[in-house]
Structure 1
Amino acid sequence: MKDLASSQKTNGGALATLVLVFFFWGFIAASNSIFIPFCKTFFNLTQFESQLIGTAFYGAYFIGSLVLYVISESRGSDLLNKIGYKKGIILGLAISIAGALLMIPAVSNENLQPIEQKVETVKNLKHDQKITTADKAVTLKKEASGYSITVTNNEQGKTFINNPAITSNLATAFHVAENSKQGKVTATFADDKAEAIVQALKGEQVAFGNFPFILLALFIIALGFSLQQTCAQPFAIMLGDPATGATRLNLGGSVNSFGTTVGPIIVSFFLFGTVTSDAEATSVSSIKTLYMIVAAVFALVAIIFAISKLPDGKNDTAFEKAPKASRSLLQLTGLVMAIILIGQFTNVSKLILLVAVIIGVVAILFASNSAAIKNPEGWGAMKYPQLIYGMIGIFVYVGVEVTIDNNFGALLKTPGYLTAEGLNESQISRYVSLYWGSLMIGRWTGAISVFNLSSIGKKIATIVVPFIAFAIILYVNKLNGSDVSDLYGYVICIALIIAAFFFGQDKPVKTLLTVSVLATAAMLIGIVTNGIVSVYAFIAGGLCCSVIWSCVFALGVAGLGKYTSQGSAFLIMMILGGAVIPPFQGVLGDIPAIGMHHSYIIAAAGFAFLAFLALKLRGVLKAQGLDFDQQIEGGH
């Protein structure tokens, strides 16, 4: 390694600054869990449309990684080695700043239209989709059968409550809404009365925000994150003795997990202010303030990096060219883009298109490996079947991890699931925080292995650390004013994952199989039950997810030799799963016969596949003479 080879002492100031970047990756990613249900209400979206936030965010990681790799491939050398990791981080921060600043006009760009001109829009609402007037006085919502109309019970609202043109078309009279803490009344009307009701609201306006503009801003933010992560992880290793590089990476990962835990709480506070407010009471200015602060923090970190006397951070690792693999990845990208265009300009079912994407990704990867086996020249790491299975595994894993959470807000808002009336947007933050906190619990526990503890010390730490992490999660939620008493029973789930860690013995195949089977069972329990038991079951998916990435990654690059770095880059590209699988579940959730609750069969199927993958990878590696579980430790 250049530049840093002579500096074996860890640069504490630089590491602290870098760790702050790790924090914000987790903070923003987990905050999407709060932003998605907010946008669904604020922009009158279907569940599928709301999941496009995750598609934009995680799709940017794939595009960013692919572009960087293809440019390096065409140059025949690593582009980041040319500019240095330090400058790469600064450039990534600058891109994210641009995205955060773009969010400000994006959320401000409201298009007010008279409601009487939106009759067809109301008629075309999907189940659970709603449209709210600009003054928040009236909300029309599509129910499983017919519509509901909810009106603010004040002087303004009484003009609608007592309007004969409205009351004469109602199926049920106005009554106090059970879930209202703001004095609202609700009624229902049949599908064929929609036009009459809308015309009776003449004079009201509805705001249609520029949601595609929001998606573009999030895409740019994540594009910057993609570059930052590509640079920051090797840079962290280079900030001191390479022998302690893993410790610095674990520190960064632990702080990242803490960011995912507090992110939903902080964003919920910015958007709603209290745990009793809902999206309809939220001002656009709160979103602008949030992203102004994010942009300012990114700018501060970029300035610190720019003026610091840190070396550029470069290495001498040779770049292994694989032109055929590059073409395969470009074909995969072309397929995804073509399907997006088909969905945009035709009426082909979104469900069919998303299934086509998933099948297409798997087919292209297996076809690539098949061609590479016949003629390995030019395929690089793709000639190894374990990498192909690993890429599919990362695709499924990231998709499942993200979909559990991104659709969770809509599930918690469903009447009759956790509470009779369903939660509002601000009340879901403690559950989202616990989900991401569950990943933190597992990763903090996994980090124990980097410390030179005795056998008994490691066992004690494996038991104690998860409960310390859980206490921290409860504490930060308590600071936000949330009642966390209903989360205490989650200790049972933590005890089960501790037992799974001991059973897995730090062996990747055994650990992956164990947690995948547990997660599959948890998802099925969540599907067949309601209330807090179901909530615990779905959140417990986070405990299992906490160790899956490292297991699949280790198995996917096993035995790759000089292609290990290239294989790692290909695995990271498969974060694409986070852009595809959540909207797939969202489409199912929009189907009344399935609904949000039963749409979690997608997560169950994903974990079941990962259990199969553990067995398949063990067989593939053994066929190459690699008894992986006996040779490698540190799976989590």
Structure 2
Amino acid sequence: MEKIGLVRTRDGRSFLVPFILITSLFFLWGVAHSILDVLNKHFQDTMEITRARSALIQAVVYGGYFVMALPAGRLIRRFGYRTGVLTGLVLYGIGALLFIPGGRIQSFEFFLLALFVIGCGLTCLETASNPYVTVLGEPEGSERRINLAQSFNGLGWICGPLIGGFFLFAGGGDVATPYAVLGTVVLLIAVVFSRVKLPEIGQEAEKEEAETGKSGTSLWKTASFTMGLLSLFLYVAAQTGINSFFINYATENAGVTAQTASVWLSFGGMGLFMLGRMGGSWLMRFVKGEKVLAACAAGGLICMAAVIFLPGKVGWYFLLLCFLCESIMFPTIFSLSLRHVDKKTKQASSYLIMSIVGGAIAPMLMGFIADHISMATGFIVPLVCFAEILGFATRYNKL
């Protein structure tokens, strides 16, 4: 009888070791992203900048995804997944270490430059790691694999606000130390990856396709991919906007201090986020990914409506609950978008990672609304995003 596991193919081949190695990277970029949400509030207070201007922190990181996604995809298609991972780790490490001189200069623009370099590194890591996880086993297990790997990304999201909250709010505003430690760890991990060999799944098929010129159906004529691309853009916009202004909403509407809010963001919001991804990976053994996605998008809509119309403690509780609804969205949309792209996984992944630029837009728009109307009203942006994702999930089988 054929033995099939989460990372085992029908012919008995196991990808457990590469799966573990790649999954460790998901934790690293979770930390990089979540610490931004604390950094956002820190720069508002210490540099006396507006919420709209502080949103440039997310804009430059996610802008790095837009700039670097296609070059990263070409690099990976030519030299393989490991090269993409190594490039990403080196850029990530260098960008983090730039915070050491940045802490002395105390220039907002210099910090933005360092964050842009980090963003370019994260782009390479995600362009390589997300599609790689989906092919480390049988196709029908792709949603489960990527949700499980993304659970460790959720663990990184828990650690980021804790680290940032400790150093920035309780530790006297020390912005250099956490990034110096992070950069050193990342570069040490790069050394480890330089000494291991990752199997290149599907590399031969892609090379043959490139040599023969047979490309099959265009990606842009594959409806599940194009609609998934839009949905991923909007999901990252919603997630980044919610994370960026969680602390602002807590302090302005729920009467919570910034340091307390950062702890709640870590253990409350991100804890639910991680548990949701682990639970989602298990649930998708029995329920199709698109159905789970539809239920979560509907939940996100309800939560955002409560945040907007019930500002205060009640709205804040729904804001926390929204992290559970968000949990499975990114990996599930990503996997569903790749399901029908045949041998174009790496190329399609480049465009999907490029769509993460949505995270650069939503915080600026929400910050503008918050500065001119109210913080609660700004959450209409993620509400609209969740509405489109619900449409994608419910129509998926007809695309």
- TM-score class normalised by the smaller sequence: 0.7 to 0.9
Residue aligning to 1:428: 261
Q: Secondary structure in 2 aligned to 1:442? A: helix
- Give the TM-score normalised by the residue count of structure 1: 0.55
Deviations 1:547-572 (A, max 9, x none): 22344335544544444553343222
Q: Which residue of 2 aligns with 1:30?
A: 34
Aligned residue type for 1:428: A
Identity of aligned residues (%): 27
**CA–CA distance in structure 1, aligned partners of residues 177 and 166 of structure 2:** 12
Contact 2:102 / 2:110 at 8 angstroms: preserved in 1?
Answer: yes
Q: Where does the alignment leave 5 or more consecutive residues of structure 1 unmatched?
A: 73-78, 110-208, 275-281, 322-376, 452-457, 459-504, 622-636
By how many angstroms is 1:382 displaced? Answer: 0.8
CA, structure 1 residues 300+389, in 2 after alignment: closer, same or farther (shift >3 Å)?
same
Question: Mapping of 1:197-212 within 5 angstroms?
Answer: 209-212=106-109
TM alignment of 1:548-559, pairs within 5 A: 548-559=329-340
Whole-angstrom CA distance in 2 between matches of 1:233 and 1:530: 36
The Cα of 1:386 is off from its aligned counterpart by 3.4
Tell me which of 155, 158, 172 is aligned to 1:258.
155
User: Do residues 310 (structure 1) and 168 (structure 2) align?
Assistant: no
103, 108, 119: which one aligns with 1:222:
119
Tell me which amino acid in the other structure corresponds to 1:97: G
How much does 1:297 deviate?
Answer: 0.3
Counterpart amino acid of 2:51?
Q
The change in CA–CA distance for 1:533 and 1:579 in structure 2 (over 3 A counts) is same
Contact 1:86 1:235 survives alignment (8 Å): no
* 2:108 matches 1:104: no
Separation (CA, whole Å) in 1 of partners of 2:14 and 2:335: 28
1:418 equivalent to 2:315? Answer no
Mapping of residues 38-437 of structure 1, within 5 Å:
38-69=42-73, 72=74, 79-109=75-105, 209-233=106-130, 249-273=146-170, 282-283=172-173, 286-306=174-194, 308-310=195-197, 313=200, 315-318=203-206, 380-414=218-252, 417-419=253-255, 423-433=256-266, 434-437=268-271
Q: Secondary structure at the match of 1:413?
A: helix
Instruction: Measure how far apart 1:265 and its partner are.
Output: 1.1
Structure-2 change in CA distance of 1:443 and 1:303 (3 Å): same
SS of alignment partner, residue 316 of structure 1: helix
Q: Contact 2:102–2:111 at 8 Å: present in 1 too? A: yes
Contact 2:148 2:278 in 1 (8 A): no
Find the aligned partners of 1:11 and 1:607 in 2 and give their Cα distance: 34
Distance in 1, Cα, partners of 2:20 & 2:297: 35
Give 1:313 deviation, angstroms: 4.2
SS of residue in 1 equivalent to 2:48: coil
Change (3 A) 1:232 1:10: same
- Cα distance in 2 for partners of 1:313, 1:254 equals 24
**Counterpart of 1:481?**
none
Which structure has greater helix proportion? 2
Code of the residue aligned with 1:424 in structure 2: it is T
Match of 1:527 among 308, 317, 320: 308
Could you say which residue in structure 2 is the equivalent of 1:353?
Answer: none
Distance in 2 between residues matched to 1:426 and 1:34, nearest whole Å: 9
Which of 377, 384, 390 lines up with 1:605 in the alignment?
Answer: 384
Where do residues 533-552 of structure 1 align in structure 2 (5 Å cutoff)? 533-552=314-333
Offset, 1:413: 2.1
Letter in 1 for 2:257: N
Give the residue type in structure 2 aligned to 1:210.
S
User: Structure 1 residue 449: deviation in Å?
Assistant: 4.9
**Corresponding residue for 2:275?**
441
Q: Is the 8 A contact 1:380 1:563 kept in 2?
A: no
Flag the structure with larger Rg: 1
Bigger relative contact order, structure 1 or 2, given CA contacts below 8 A and separation 6+? 2
- Cα 1:68–1:302 shift into 2, 3 Å: closer
For 1:104 and 1:317, the matched residues in 2 are separated by 44
Q: TM-score, normalised by structure 2?
A: 0.85
Indicate conservation of the 8 Å contact 2:163/2:178, yes or no: no
CA contact 1:413–1:425 (8 Å) conserved in 2: yes
Gaps in structure 2 of 5+ consecutive residues: 1-8
- Structure 1 residue matching 2:204: 3-state secondary structure: coil
Output the amino acid matched with 2:288: D
SS in 2 for 1:411: helix
Question: C-alpha displacement at 1:227, in angstroms?
Answer: 1.0
| Offset, 1:90 | 1.9
* Structure showing the higher strand proportion among its residues: 1
Residues 614 and 597 of structure 1: CA distance in aligned 2, closer, same or farther (over 3 Å): same
Change (3 A) 1:67 1:80: closer
Deviations 1:417-446 (A, max 9, x none): 212xxx433221122122222221211001
C-alpha separation in 1, matches of 2:62 and 2:54: 14
- Work out the CA distance in 2 between the residues paired with 1:426 and 1:44: 18
- AA at the equivalent of 1:310: K
The offset of 1:216, in angstroms, is: 1.1
> How far did 1:10 drift?
4.9
- Cα distance between partner residues in 2 of 1:85 and 1:560: 18
Indicate the residue corresponding to 2:23 in structure 1.
Answer: 19
Amino acid at match of 1:214: F
Contact 1:34 1:267 in 2 (8 A): yes
Query: CA 1:382–1:212 in structure 2 vs 1: closer, same or farther (change >3 Å)?
Result: same
Residues 1:577 and 2:358 are matched in the alignment: yes
Q: Distance in 1 between matches of 2:148 and 2:294?
A: 26
Q: C-alpha separation between the residues in 2 aligned to 1:107 and 1:100? A: 11
Residues 618/235 of structure 1: CA separation in 2 closer, same or farther (3 Å cut): closer
- Kindly indicate whether the alpha-carbon contact (under 8 Å) linking 2:276 and 2:328 is maintained by their aligned counterparts in 1: yes
Amino acid in the other structure paired with 2:228: G
Give, in whole Å, the separation in 1 of the partners of 2:396 and 2:20.
38
RMSD in angstroms over aligned alpha carbons? 3.1
Please give the alpha-carbon distance, in whole angstroms, between the structure 2 residues aligned to 1:10 and 1:557.
Answer: 20
Distance in 2 (alpha carbons) for counterparts of 1:27 and 1:595:
29
Give the AA of the match of 2:177: T
Residue deviations 1:126-173 (CA, integer Å, cap 9, x gap): xxxxxxxxxxxxxxxxxxxxxxxxxxxxxxxxxxxxxxxxxxxxxxxx
How much does 1:52 deviate? 0.9
Q: What SS does structure 2 have at the residue aligned with 1:317?
A: helix
What is the deviation of 1:535?
Answer: 0.8
> Is the partner of 1:542 in helix, strand or coil?
helix
The residue identity in structure 2 corresponding to 1:91 is T
- State the secondary structure of the residue aligned to 1:530: coil
